[in-house]
């Protein structure tokens, strides 16, 4: 007897699971059918949600591109310390070692007067007047230490070193002003302000379009409910579960989010690839972001789909809760 009871319970459980599965499949089928019933509303909801996800994607990509550009520019900017032309090799070596010991210093490179002169001549070889000036003894180029800092905005330690290091003080070229990267700081500050502006603008635009797409999906689901009012009433009368009545509308919204995510991801990548060469010419570090997106395209697409589905599901749940009265 116990064995028969256990078998009967297992059979009932299997039947219940099978019924739940069939119900789930039917909800998906009805939801997909609803997606194609109102063509214009479907196109409008999908288009606005696509724009919303496109803005979100572009905002995130733009921020990453600007951060990479900032890091790239920071790596090329250094602080220049000028020393006398007749500074001995021993003094140069001592100064370089002392500079490298500073925690705020990433790297140090010394350019001799001869090499500095040659480099300058090569850069200005088309300017005859500049080359003539180089031949004048008073225009000799001093030795230069190019100091790359970990943080160009933090020059306190280097400032103190310049003021207190006796070897450097004995050999520093008083005719040249030490360049503490003020131009570089200004450039970095400007790009940092761009990043902040892009984040704020992207956030505002994303919020606006999330609200718009949510309203359109909300109204689309509402129209679908009104169009199927009699059918829904009949389902209620025959005892259909609340989840079965609500399910197809949720599925319909999920389809909006899925299609919009695929379209938005494809359009965003196309925009980035199309703008790649132009942005690169202006020194914008876009390659890293594009390579990152392509490498992890599966995760990127999944994230976009999840965002689209969340917007759709929330909108549909609000609409069904308000208008289905169940």
Give pLDDT tens digits for 75-125. 777 778 888 888 888 888 888 888 888 888 888 888 888 887 777 767 666
- Count CB neighbours of 160 within 10 A: 11
Q: What angle do CA 49, 53, 57 make, to 5 degrees?
A: 170
Residue 195 has pLDDT above 50, yes or no: yes
Least confident of 125-129, 153-157, 264-268, 269-273: 125-129
Asked if 161 and 98 count as a contact pair (C-beta separation under 8 A), the reply is: yes
Residue 83's DSSP bridge partners are 143, 172
What gap in Å lies between CA 134 and CA 130, rounded to an integer? 6
Q: How far is CA 25 from CA 32, 250, 251, 257, in A?
A: 11, 13, 11, 19
User: How large is the average pLDDT for residues 227-240?
Assistant: 69
Proportion of the chain above pLDDT 90, given as a percent:
9
Helix axes 242-281, 39-76, angle to 10 degrees: 40
What gap in Å lies between CA 215 and CA 200, rounded to an integer? 23
Helix axes 182-227, 39-76, angle to 10 degrees: 170
Between 92 and 141, the more confident residue is 92
The domain locations on the chain are 26-72+188-323, 78-180
Taking the model in full, what pTM does it have?
A: 0.68
CATH label, 78-180, candidates 3.50.50.60, 3.10.560.10, 3.20.20.70, 3.30.70.3040: 3.30.70.3040
146's tokens = 């190019």
12's tokens = 């009932």
Residue where the block lists tokens 């078998």: 7
Residue 147's DSSP bridge partners are 79, 108
Model confidence at 265, pLDDT cuts 50, 70, 90, reads very high
Residue 44 has pLDDT above 50, yes or no: yes
Asked if 263 and 298 count as a contact pair (C-beta separation under 8 A), the reply is: no
Residue 299 has pLDDT above 80, yes or no: yes
Name the residue among 205, 249, 218 with its Cα closest to residue 311.
Answer: 218
What gap in Å lies between CA 51 and CA 210, rounded to an integer? 9
Give pLDDT tens digits for 303-321. 999 988 888 888 887 877 7
171 CB-side CA count, 13 A: 24
Q: How far is CA 253 from the centre of its chain?
A: 27
User: How large is the average pLDDT for residues 149-168?
Assistant: 81
What gap in Å lies between CA 156 and CA 168, rounded to an integer? 17
Q: What angle do CA 52, 245, 36 make, to 5 degrees?
A: 50
H-type helices in the chain, by residue range? 2-37, 39-76, 89-100, 113-123, 128-134, 156-164, 166-171, 182-227, 229-237, 242-281, 287-295, 297-323
CB burial of 266-280 (b: ≥16 within 10 Å; e: otherwise) equals ebbbeebeeeeeebe
User: What's the sign of the alpha-carbon dihedral 58, 61, 62, 63?
Assistant: positive
Write the burial class of residue 1 (CB in 10 Å: 0-12 exposed, 13-18 middle, 19+ buried). Answer: exposed
What gap in Å lies between CA 240 and CA 28, rounded to an integer? 16
By three-state DSSP, how is residue 153 classified? coil
pLDDT at residue 165 in the model: 87
**In this structure, what are the phi and psi dihedrals at residue 111, rounded to the nearest 5 degrees?**
-110, 120
């Amino acid at each position: 007897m116990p064995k028969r009871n256990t078998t009967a319970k297992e059979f009932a459980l299997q039947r219940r699971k099978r019924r739940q599965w069939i119900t789930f499949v039917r909800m998906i089928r009805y939801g997909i059918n609803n997606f194609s019933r109102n063509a214009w509303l479907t196109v409008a909801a999908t288009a606005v949600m696509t724009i919303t996800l496109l803005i979100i994607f572009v905002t995130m990509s733009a921020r990453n591109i600007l951060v990479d550009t900032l890091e790239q520019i920071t790596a090329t900017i250094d602080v220049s310390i000028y020393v006398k032309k007749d500074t001995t090799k021993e003094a140069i070596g001592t100064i370089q070692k002392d500079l490298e010991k500073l925690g705020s210093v990433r790297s140090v490179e010394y350019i001799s007067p001869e090499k500095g002169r040659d480099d300058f001549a090569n850069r200005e070889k088309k300017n005859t007047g500049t080359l003539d000036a180089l031949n004048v003894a008073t225009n000799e180029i001093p030795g230069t230490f190019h100091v790359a800092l970990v943080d160009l905005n933090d020059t306190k330690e280097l400032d103190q070193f310049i003021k207190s290091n006796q070897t450097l003080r004995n050999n520093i070229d008083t005719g040249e002003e030490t360049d503490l990267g003020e131009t570089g700081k200004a450039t970095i500050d400007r790009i940092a302000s761009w990043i902040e502006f892009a984040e704020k603008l992207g956030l505002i635009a994303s919020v606006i379009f999330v609200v718009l797409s949510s309203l359109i999906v909300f109204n689309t689901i509402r129209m679908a409910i009104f169009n199927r009012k009699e059918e829904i009433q009949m389902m209620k009368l025959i005892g259909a579960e609340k989840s079965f009545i609500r399910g197809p509308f949720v599925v319909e919204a999920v389809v909006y989010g899925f299609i919009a995510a695929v379209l938005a991801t494809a359009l965003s990548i196309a925009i980035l690839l199309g703008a790649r060469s132009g942005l690169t010419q202006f020194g914008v570090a876009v390659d890293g972001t594009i390579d990152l997106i392509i490498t992890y395209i599966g995760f990127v697409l999944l994230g976009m789909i999840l965002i689209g589905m969340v917007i759709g599901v929330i909108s549909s749940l609000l609409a069904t809760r308000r208008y289905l009265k169940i």
